[in-house]
Amino acid sequence: MIKTLIFWCPYIGNVGTAKAVLESAKSLSQSKNFKCKVINSFGEFDEYKSFLKKNKIEEIKLINNKLIKKLPTEGYFWSRLNYILVFIFSFFPLLFYLIRNKRDYLFIYLLTSLPLFIVSLFNLKNKIILRVSGKIKFTIFRKLIFFISKKKIKRVLIQTLESKKKILKKKIFDRKILSIIRDPIIDHKKINFLKKEKIEKKILSKKILCFYRKANISKKFFIFNSMFKKNLKRRKKLYFRNNR
């Protein structure tokens, strides 16, 4: 029997989690046992339509709200406002979709509170796989949501052993449902292709060559940059190339 897997990941701005969702769906779609769907909540996955079609991943258009995409995304206020609007406008469309597709497995990555709240409140039969990415912040609200919905969560996927220890310390989830799975964002075919790409002579002439892939500035950027602190004292030139 073919199992249908739904991916829920409404994102704002440029986040690596979206890439992880696409690569996960792509990988699982190659199996005859799974049919993958990605929920395109408010158009955040519009730029990946060709990717979804190419890899036989079904797109679920949830709402048609152009306002959210027009709002600024930078800064804490705007990001929170965007997510609040997604929560409000997606509530009933997501509820009705899950009711109609009660046998589907639901993988949730971002804005996890909405599907967890819906499935728990209306006692839906969908099985949830929770993906915990990045630094885990156990706010009172999040703890409450996890406590209410933990019976609906069949598996919790985490990235590191450190995250696993932190979750176990909080005694939120049973050890049996925790699994460490790295984000599948590495495309080996693309790496092999880029290895053959010629580097411009003007780039090779730089004293220090640094490639940084992430599109937006984050904590990882500063950690990455600190690695070259000693070199910067000896050499003044530092070249950055942003490969998205």
Return the domain boundaries, the chain: 3-180, 198-242
- Please state, for a pLDDT cut of 70, what percent of the chain lies above it: 76
Asked if residue 206 lies in contact with residue 237, where contact means CB atoms within 8 angstroms, the answer is: yes
What's the chain's average pLDDT?
Answer: 81
Which pLDDT belongs to residue 201? 63
Q: Is the pLDDT of residue 164 over 60?
A: yes
What is the sign of the dihedral through the CA atoms of 222, 226, 229 and 235?
negative
Most confident of 161-165, 192-196, 230-234: 161-165
Rounded Cα distance between 207 and 92, Å, is 56
pLDDT per position as a tens digit, 39-64: 999 989 999 999 999 999 999 999 88
The fold of 3-180 is Rossmann fold (3.40.50)
pTM for the predicted model, two decimal places:
0.76
pLDDT value of residue 229: 59
For 19-33, 165-179, 183-197, which range has the lowest pLDDT when averaged over its residues?
183-197
The predicted structure's pLDDT at residue 194: 72
58: helix, strand or coil: strand
Instruction: Tell me the C-alpha distance between 72 and 211, whole Å.
Output: 28
| 3 state SS of 20 | helix
**Higher-pLDDT residue of 198, 166:** 166
Structure tokens that stand for 118 in this block: 């819906």
Distance of alpha carbon 101 from alpha carbon 174, whole angstroms:
27
Would you say residue 218 has pLDDT above 80? no
pLDDT in the model for residue 203: 56
137-146: pLDDT as tens digits: 778 888 888 8
Q: What tens digit of pLDDT does each residue of 59-103 get?
A: 999 988 777 878 887 888 888 898 899 999 999 999 999 999 999
